[in-house]
Structure 1
Amino acid sequence: MDEPRVDVWTVPLDGAPATVAALSLMLSGREAERAGRCRFEADRRRFVVAHGALRRILAGYLDVPPEELRLERGHHGKPRLADGAELRFNLSHCGELALVAVSRHAEVGVDVDRLRPGLPVEAFAERFFPASDARFVAAAAGPMERGERFLRLWTRKEAVVKAAGARLTQGLGLPVLTDPDTDTDTDVVRDPSGQIRGVWSVRDLPVPDGCLAALAVAGAAAPRVSVRHAHRGSAWV
């Protein structure tokens, strides 16, 4: 079987007012309503840019106007194209960065999160993660490395959960590191409990310092990943 191809788009969310205004016109009524419910202006801007950019990206693959795309939510809220197109995608955003993963056929999930110093990650991992994950976190040299190891596991679990259209509670016990001491780009993940069906290829993604991100793709074949960059300003207008 050929390796799946996935494009991962990085989207800066610190858009200028003109960019935010232009992207807001591409949103559906439901998306605009959700944006309007944001309490803080920064959160509204990030939502508009993330979801408007998602529409622009998908429209480029499908050669249709972005405002005409019909998106719907599937199992456990996973977004998909309403017309049954084979294009698969997923969106994650944290702070001023969003990631959009796109594949022609394989289900994909992506997650990005930022480090939060001071969180009791060791206790959380011991309570909710598999024993091997808890040992991986606890074996770190200090609090910063423990936080990084925990977030590496967390983003991988989230990416699989989002790709599978599952619930986060189902993914906490999912082992997502085949061998922490092996220097491989991709791990093949299976849920021993059977709650999350299928086989998933999981890998870390390059993101700015202070954040970690992961990608999950259906199947055991390591995906061919192309990282692409969405531009600020007029490129989205």
Structure 2
Amino acid sequence: MIDHVNELTDEAPRTGTPPEGAAVAVWSLATLRDSVAGRPVAEAGEILDAAEQERAARLRRPADRHRYVASHLGLRVLLGGYLGLAPHEVVLVRETCPCCGGPHGRPAVAGGGPVHFSLSHSGDVAYLAFSGVPVGIDVEETPSQEALADVLPLLHPAEIAELNALPEADRPAGLARVWCRKEACLKAQGTGLALGLVDPYVGSAATPAPVPGWTLRDLPAPPHYAAALAVRA
């Protein structure tokens, strides 16, 4: 279990050396803040690359656009700290998709740098993970009962049974645990949601179920959120 999550604020982050092997550094960011590490979110267009700027422009709600830009600014600030680069000098690419071979697999640093990373944002919070091996992180705001009804049938049969066995009021928080664990694994593997949500089985109990080839753990999270991390074993 990782007991400490670093907080990215308006101060310059002390990243230190890049994590090696299966060591992981986890950071959180409040995505509605006006500046990240002293850099105004409103002026981050000069730092993000063309693909990030295009993605941000497609978000119709200003608050969603702000959250996206803040989280990607935070990613670039932290990667730059680990790699000894200015945030705008970090070149991001996509690895080959393990499902279809297309160029939309895990995000990575161009040239196969020493840092693997993962980014997730939900609600007003972003989580970022950095490691020397493939890593996936996910944070999820507790869903509504309506979202629970939509997602529940898509899960592993055992997870469906576990969640249905909970008192109705506890099911949204249970789904948040399952969803973030599953997403963390799928991000680390690079498949995303292409193969659906049935596998891997991660369970809804207080401790995640074992996932072969990966170390899966829950992370400390703010109230009404759940977060999880998957690291290649």
**Which TM-score applies when normalising by structure 1?**
0.77
* Structure 1 counterpart of 2:157, from 124, 131, 135: 131
User: Which residue in 2 is equivalent to 1:188?
Assistant: 210
Q: Which piece of structure 1 moves more, 17-26 or 209-218?
A: 17-26
Q: How does 1:71-220 map to 2 (within 5 A)?
A: 71-74=92-95, 75=97, 76-103=104-131, 105-119=132-146, 121=148, 124-125=151-152, 127-141=153-167, 143-170=168-195, 172-173=197-198, 174-177=200-203, 180=205, 184=207, 187-190=209-212, 199-219=213-233
CA drift of 1:187 comes to 4.4
| Greater relative contact order (Cα < 8 A, sep 6+) | 1
Gaps of 5+ in 1: 191-198, 220-237
> Take 1:148 and 1:58, find their aligned partners in 2: how far apart are those partners?
32
Partner of 1:151, secondary structure, is helix
> Take 1:156 and 1:16, find their aligned partners in 2: how far apart are those partners?
30
Partner of 2:210, secondary structure, is strand
Q: How does 1:216-235 map to 2 (within 5 A)?
A: 216-219=230-233
Query: In 2 relative to 1, CA 169–150 (structure 1 residues): closer, same or farther, beyond 3 Å?
Result: farther
Offset from partner CA, 1:170-204 (integer Å, 9 cap, x none): 25122113x93xx65x64303xxxxxxxx111111
Partner of 1:119, secondary structure, is helix
**Aligned residues: percent identity?**
36
Offset from partner CA, 1:4-52 (integer Å, 9 cap, x none): 2111100111122772134332111221222222212111211111111
Q: Confirm whether residue 68 of structure 1 aligns to residue 68 of structure 2.
A: no
User: Which residue in 2 is equivalent to 1:16?
Assistant: 34
**Which TM-score applies when normalising by structure 2?**
0.79
Q: Confirm whether residue 29 of structure 1 aligns to residue 57 of structure 2.
A: no
Partner of 1:189, secondary structure, is coil
User: Which residue in 2 is equivalent to 1:59?
Assistant: 80
Query: In 2 relative to 1, CA 131–33 (structure 1 residues): closer, same or farther, beyond 3 Å?
Result: closer
> Take 1:123 and 1:44, find their aligned partners in 2: how far apart are those partners?
25
What is the Cα-based RMSD across aligned positions, in Å?
2.3
Partner of 1:47, secondary structure, is helix
Partner of 2:211, secondary structure, is strand
